[in-house]
Structure 1
Amino acid sequence: MTERVVPPDARRRRRPTKQGVVLSEELIVETALRLIEEHGAEALSVRRLGRALGADPSSLYRYFRRTDDLMLAVADELIGRTLRAWRPTGDWRADLRDLGLSMHAGALAHPRAATLSAYRVTGRVHEIQAVETILGVLRDGGFPDAEAVRIYHTFVDQTLAFGALDSASVALPDQAREAEAEVWRTTYGRLPATTHPHVAATAPHLLESMRHSSYPAALDLLLEAAEARLAAVRGRTGG
């Protein structure tokens, strides 16, 4: 896609496409997300999207001026899917843990899209809602504003980074994933204590741990640190 400005009142297609569907931003984003998971980044082309939608590729400019705008919309939709399924309880630590795990699971459900979008700032409705929501959880939990922002930043970056890392692993061909898992067993699991005493001593735990993502453990460590900081703040202020 290239730069092209279409007046807002001309963006919605009023006639069905060749396949009998009426175009909308939501339908284009959903189709783009599906194509990304099937074909990778190259799926974000006007020609491929138009073919999948049964529409003239030029009609997509009614909704997105360029490919990057569509990628931002896809990234924002991933955020929206997590938020729509998440229900806060009022317990800041439990709520952040549940939200983080939900974000991570959402990334793994769409690994190629998550890998492409984890580092993007969309400035769109769902991202704005997420920023407001997470800051609200922290401020309502008693964190001063500066601490709330610090923990928000760390929480989001940690979650997105693990989402991208683990998504990249999930997106590997099965044979490559199995080969990497085998390295832990056949290489690290057999290192002798005479040359690698620490690996040898911890090998059973290492082999078990490396089979899974470390995100839940990292998230718990972050939340424990945040809780300790909140206790310290309350101790200083007498709250």
Structure 2
Amino acid sequence: MTTKRVVPETARRRRRPTKQGQVLTHRLIVETALRMLREHGAAGLTARRLGLALGADASTVYRYFRGMDDLVLAIADEVFANAMADWRPTGHWRADLRDLGLRIHHAYLAHPQAALLTASRVTGRPNEVASDETILGILRGAGFADADAVRIYHAFIDQSLAFAILDAATLALPAPAREADEEVWRDTYARLPARTHPNIAATAPLLVARMNNSAYPTALDMLLSSASAQLTT
């Protein structure tokens, strides 16, 4: 019996230009998938539609990825690459962690539909691993014991991803629905009488001013303050 020859991954990849004159690459497919998610949402990201957008047959995608879920994990790793691009440590652990948290949050919000699809995934891909190594290195370098470093890292990364999903869900809403939600604070909460809702009425101007903005920077500062207090005790 003849043993079936295994075709190396590099040999499976398309080197001829597509109908649009592009030579397909891993990065081009991921970038095109991100654009499709932005324009059509997760339901619009299929191998057939991706192939059409690339000017190639749908089967071409599988020369680069084991399946659509493999592509989703690659998209998630690309978001981490965007977050870490050109980042440089200052040597001040709290400032560095704050900057990284805001970068991760911002990178996901730049692609809201992708955030909803990928922020809950663990990829084990190079950019995700590199960011985790960096965060843990900052914490251990600041003097946290390993158990504390892992505990704070866990809270830090889950907090950034949870807020990314929450805030991305708002951005992904159709514009009329998002605008209607934003107006509720002014049109409903700000009009509640002090007789029935004394606490809301007393804080209504502050609620109107804050509640349509992300609470992530505040939550991040609270987490870092808690960690800092532990380090100094």
Give the structure-2-normalised TM-score: 0.94
Question: Could you tell me which residue of structure 2 aligns to residue 54 of structure 1?
Answer: 55
Structure 1 unaligned segments of length 5 or more: list them. 233-239
Q: CA deviation at 1:203?
A: 1.0
Q: CA deviation at 1:169?
A: 0.4
Structure 2 unaligned segments of length 5 or more: list them. 1-5
Task: Give the 3-state SS of the residue equivalent to 2:213 in structure 1.
Answer: coil
Q: CA deviation at 1:108?
A: 1.3
Letter in 2 for 1:91: H
Question: Could you tell me which residue of structure 1 aligns to residue 207 of structure 2?
Answer: 206
Task: Give the 3-state SS of the residue equivalent to 1:85 in structure 2.
Answer: coil
- Separation of aligned partners in 1, 2:175 and 2:43: 21
Question: Could you tell me which residue of structure 2 aligns to residue 122 of structure 1?
Answer: 123
Confirm whether residue 165 of structure 1 aligns to residue 162 of structure 2.
Answer: no
After superposition, where does 1:181-220 map in structure 2 within 5 Å?
181-220=182-221
- Separation of aligned partners in 1, 2:76 and 2:216: 20
Runs of 4+ in 1 over 4 A off after TM superposition: none
- Separation of aligned partners in 2, 1:11 and 1:156: 36
- Separation of aligned partners in 2, 1:170 and 1:47: 27
Question: Could you tell me which residue of structure 2 aligns to residue 92 of structure 1?
Answer: 93
Work out whether residues 6 and 61 of structure 1, in 8 Å CA contact, stay in contact via their aligned partners in 2: no
Amino-acid identity (%): 64
- Separation of aligned partners in 1, 2:212 and 2:30: 33
Question: Could you tell me which residue of structure 2 aligns to residue 110 of structure 1?
Answer: 111
Task: Give the 3-state SS of the residue equivalent to 2:143 in structure 1.
Answer: coil
Question: Could you tell me which residue of structure 2 aligns to residue 16 of structure 1?
Answer: 17
- Separation of aligned partners in 2, 1:6 and 1:128: 29
| 1:217-239 residue CA offsets vs partner (Å, 9 max, x unmatched) | 0000000001011112xxxxxxx
Q: CA deviation at 1:9?
A: 3.2
Question: Could you tell me which residue of structure 2 aligns to residue 236 of structure 1?
Answer: none
Task: Give the 3-state SS of the residue equivalent to 1:157 in structure 2.
Answer: helix
- Separation of aligned partners in 2, 1:131 and 1:184: 37
Count of aligned residue pairs for this structure pair: 228
Q: CA deviation at 1:57?
A: 1.4
RMSD of the alignment, in Å?
1.3
- Separation of aligned partners in 2, 1:6 and 1:217: 52
